[in-house]
Each structure stands twice: as C-alpha cells, then as structure tokens.
C-alpha cells in the first residue's frame, strides 16, 4: 500500500503550481522511495509565501504523479482522508487535478462527511466550492444519507409531507448495489 499526503492551500496561483505542489510532492514521494530519481527543488521563499495549507491523505495500492499535467492518480483500494473538511472517502480510483483543484473518485465510491454519507459510481469533489457531484452506474441511483436535526420547538409534531391517497403504498427499495 502506498500512502501519499497531499497538501491543498486555500487558494493558489497557477504560476506556483509546480514549485509549490509538485516540489512538495516530489519530496514526499522521494522520502517514500517512489521517486528517488526525480530532481527535487524546494525553494523556502516560495513555501513561506504560500497560503495556509490543509493536508489530504490518500492511500492506495498504486499512485502516479504527472508534473506536466498536474494530475495525481491513485488506483486500488483508495482511501482519502481530509480532516480540514471532516471528509473520508473510499473508491477504486481517485484522480486529483491540481490545476482545477478537483478530486474525481470512481468505482464504488463512498464518502462520509460530518456524519452524512453518499454512495455512487463516480463522484467529483470541487475543493474550492466544497461541493460534490455524484453519478450512478447505469440503471442505478446515487444514495445519500443526511443527518437531519429535529426541531426543539414545543409547538407540536413536525409537519409531514403530502398524505398519500388511500391504497397508495411506497415501493420497496432494493438493496444498494443490486
């Protein structure tokens, strides 16, 4: 299993992409022995000028980083942990597009954030917006479970949705993944 710690600044300038992101990434991966043949250029003045960063840890069986495209790809038993956003995820594959600050998870994706969860075949996380876009497999649906706080109002029972017509019943939901 390969473990890679990626640091995502709150805001970034594309002109510093390679010096900030990939210089750091090369240092991290070289310390793992994965990229020991790549040149590493760490400029302390660039690091000192960057915005505060939040680490995102990605674990997987295999990882590849392309410094020309700014894409990091993780394959096989992918686990993502992003404590700054209280986010955990699992998937078969993950790709981080550093120029767009976009994380694309694919293959039986499960995301847990603040107790809320979502399952889908593919999911895109837009880091700057803190927003997910989920897509199911063909003939399937995305499943989301949200924690809903109950009102503390003593004014009586909570309002309900429209009443079904007599004899109407809700269909049974198939188990997830069937």
178 residues of the chain, pLDDT tens digit each: 544 454 444 433 333 333 334 343 433 333 333 333 333 333 333 333 445 788 999 999 999 999 999 999 999 999 999 999 999 999 999 999 999 999 999 999 999 999 999 999 999 999 999 999 999 999 999 999 999 998 886 665 655 555 555 555 555 656 655 5
Specify the pTM. Answer: 0.60
Residue 7 lies in a domain: yes
Cα distances (Å, whole numbers) of residue 127 to 97, 103, 105, 131 = 10, 7, 13, 7
CATH number of domain containing 103: 2.60.450
Residue 55 lies in a domain: yes
Q: Which residues neighbour 137 within 8 Å (Cβ) at sequence distance 6 or greater?
A: 121
Residue 112 lies in a domain: yes
Residue 159 lies in a domain: no
């Amino acid at each position: 299993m390969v473990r890679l710690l990626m640091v995502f600044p709150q805001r970034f300038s594309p002109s510093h992409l390679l010096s900030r992101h990939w210089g750091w990434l090369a240092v991290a991966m070289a310390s793992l022995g994965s990229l020991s043949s790549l040149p590493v250029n760490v400029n302390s003045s660039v690091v000192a000028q960057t915005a505060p960063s939040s680490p995102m840890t990605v674990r997987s069986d295999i990882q590849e980083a392309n410094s020309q495209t700014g894409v990091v790809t993780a394959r096989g038993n992918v686990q993502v942990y992003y404590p700054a956003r209280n986010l955990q995820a699992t998937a078969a594959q993950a790709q981080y597009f550093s120029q767009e600050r976009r994380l694309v998870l694919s293959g039986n994706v499960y995301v847990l954030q603040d107790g809320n969860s979502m399952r889908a075949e593919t999911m895109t996380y837009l880091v700057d917006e803190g927003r997910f876009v989920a897509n199911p497999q063909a003939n399937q649906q995305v499943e989301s479970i949200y924690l809903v706080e109950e009102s503390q109002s003593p004014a009586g029972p909570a309002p309900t949705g429209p009443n079904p017509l007599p004899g109407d019943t809700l269909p049974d939901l198939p188990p997830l993944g069937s």
